[in-house]
Amino acid sequence: MSDTVRRIVAKRVHEPEAIAEAAANRVRAKSPFNDKGRMMIIAADHPARGANAVGGDPLAMADRGDLLERLCLALERPGVTGVLATPDVIDDLLLLGALDGKTVIGSMNRTGLAGSTFEIDDRFACYDAESIERMRFDGGKTLTRICLDDPATPGVLENTAAAVNDLAARRLIAMVEPFVSVWTDGRLQNDLSPEAVIRSITIASALGRTSAYTWLKLPVVADMERVLASSTLPAVLLGGEVKDPDAAFAAWQHALSLPTVQGLVVGRSLLYPHDGDVAKAVDTAVGLV
């Protein structure tokens, strides 16, 4: 066990109140943007859905000490503006003092466990708007999968709308990540055709009583000009797992030139790059934005 993990465990056992104290004393970000006017967020909410795999390693993200070391390294790189994660990860980062001056986005719905038969039924079991406000964070993120042949979908949309309302009432960012999803051979898959992504955007953009604080978190797909023309809401680009870094970086760079795009929210491809060099991967992504 690393010294970092030992320190965190000791705090959790003997001083659990230290987490709330760290949140109360944290220096908040003055802006969600870096000096280039862009958002650059590191995402680490995958393990909460049981999605620990990266490449050929099914448990790559399951070593918490290793994940925290990678996150801290990424957050220290110039131009990185913040983190998106679940309470367990953010609490660890608070105890490490790694979030001063950073934007913090709390992941809200995580019950749609990867590979489960109830994956669409993604209920809000992590952060809620009240706790995000209390912890002095900057917004909440929802994963909103729309499956036309799954009866859980209306509940997903209703719960997302409630989260948008609750966050907007507190003037906090509601970062909605929509997908049109389909069941194929017993597995849920996201349809990444431009037409499907456009449909997901037009549905997600209308959720809630106001869209004033709603941002979209979107995949980079073909024909991004047409895709992003479907909404005026601010958008950030998600990374996903990258098999060809050069191709991915080129696609991100092109999409970043479009008017609604405000930056990147990327996780595994930067925290677990093919060559193992986290700093280099993060610096490359920051250079794109």
Helix axes 278-288, 245-256, angle to 10 degrees: 30
Q: And the tokens for 30?
A: 């003055």
Whether the pLDDT of residue 94 is over 90: the answer is yes
Tell whether the model's pLDDT for residue 167 goes beyond 80.
yes
Residue 246: the pLDDT is 81
CA 152, 123, 11 angle in degrees (round to 5)? 165
Span 78-105, average pLDDT: 98
pLDDT confidence of residue 7: 94
Q: Closest by alpha carbon to 5, among 79, 133, 95?
A: 95
Residue 29's closest CA among 86, 75, 91?
A: 75
Q: What's the rounded mean pLDDT across residues 64-90?
A: 97
User: pTM for this structure?
Assistant: 0.96
**Residue 1: what pLDDT?**
55
Tens digits of residue pLDDT in 124-147: 999 999 999 999 999 999 999 999
d(CA 62, CA 53): 8
pLDDT digits (tens, 9 = 90+) for 189-204: 999 999 999 999 999 9
Query: pLDDT of 244-270, one tens digit each?
Result: 778 888 888 999 999 999 999 999 999
